[in-house]
Structure 1
């Protein structure tokens, strides 16, 4: 089985680092900072979208300023790793999946360099055949192109996607892939409004769910 993972809100809880980076950019602009819950509500669709939402929340509609702030955030993003944590049982589960012979990849709207940096920092980079980020040149999730690209890089065989949000659920549906939804991430709408093969709240549950989907 080819197993593809989202990153932020799925394998890692990175909201604190994202908030710190967003607030550093806001400080550069002379704007007031945001609390963690507010920033968590902006996560999931990539840096340009995040910065659009940040400015709109401050009552500002300025595409050029948003673009400048996104570039500022991207310049800081690869160093934004110190506050990020693995969700419980992620490392043990990746070991089991590798032992079971699954090929694994990451497909995330986070920029590729930032994704690889945090995977290295947390000791996860050796588990994944490929990392497809939001700066790949393909339309970001919820469009299916990034998932389909990642699946091709993994090679032949059945595939499954694991994520945490409505963005991931929509991308999996559009790519015609079975979807397993982690409930402890950054979803912004109720789970009963989404399509998925199964829900799980602990990564210890994941190997058996993947075996059942094979």
Structure 2
């Protein structure tokens, strides 16, 4: 689509992680199924697990329990969720990206943008898991900070992490661009007052309902379109 006219200059970029920078679904499935198998529970195929990604591992685990008629909200269910989460984390941290991969074009895009913009990651993945994944993907050096949802209240579509990122960078939220593949990313951006890009190559983009504020289908488009927008703003 035609690049929009920005209301103010962009000085920082916040990227979602799973489904935006990295195709981590195979590793998430492996960690989830390993935890479920050890607990004697049913495991799931890749397409099913990919559809559960986006709200962090606790939500993914809860959805796996609901899918086999286990209530994750009562006392036994909560205890089981805690047990599965510990097992999930052990597997995920031991091999953060043994099965997944960085999306094509992401490494070059992030390297280019990080030369001109303050780049951070804002993800519903807990911070330790997010940093481990970024390090395994060789992307971590390009980001000045990683903001993970270490508490449920921080999870997107909450704007809390985007606000924290803008504060850390010393920016107004309107100067921080959110790049993500799902509804929660764009909803968090709207709530925080950040402009947003829908990553059309990601997991959630195919299920988008209604016109997004700004969509790109290849990572290489972002530096080009952002430069165009900045120049338009400069001469507006």
TM-score where L is the length of structure 2? 0.84
Indicate which of 154, 167, 189 corresponds to 2:169: 154
Q: Is this contact kept in 2: 1:45–1:109, CA < 8 A?
A: yes
> What is the distance in 1 between the residues matched to 2:205 and 2:197?
16
Q: For 1:95-114, what aligned pairs fall within 5 Å after superposition?
A: 95-99=111-115, 101-114=116-129
Structure 1 partner of 2:33: 23
Cα RMSD after superposing both structures: 1.7
Q: For 1:1-214, what aligned pairs fall within 5 Å after superposition?
A: 1-61=11-71, 62-79=77-94, 80-99=96-115, 101-135=116-150, 139-156=154-171, 158-187=175-204, 190-193=207-210, 196-214=212-230
Q: Is this contact kept in 2: 1:41–1:188, CA < 8 A?
A: no
Unaligned runs of 5+ in 2: 1-10, 72-76, 231-236
Deviations 1:11-33 (A, max 9, x none): 00000000011000011111121
Unaligned runs of 5+ in 1: none
SS across alignment from 1:203? coil
Which is greater in Rg? 2
Deviations 1:92-114 (A, max 9, x none): 11122123x11100000111111
Deviation at 1:212, TM superposition (A): 3.7
Which portions of structure 1, spanning 4 or more consecutive aligned residues, are displaced by more than 4 angstroms?
Answer: none
Deviation at 1:137, TM superposition (A): 7.3
> What is the distance in 1 between the residues matched to 2:81 and 2:57?
10
SS across alignment from 1:132? strand
Q: Is this contact kept in 1: 2:181–2:205, CA < 8 A?
A: no
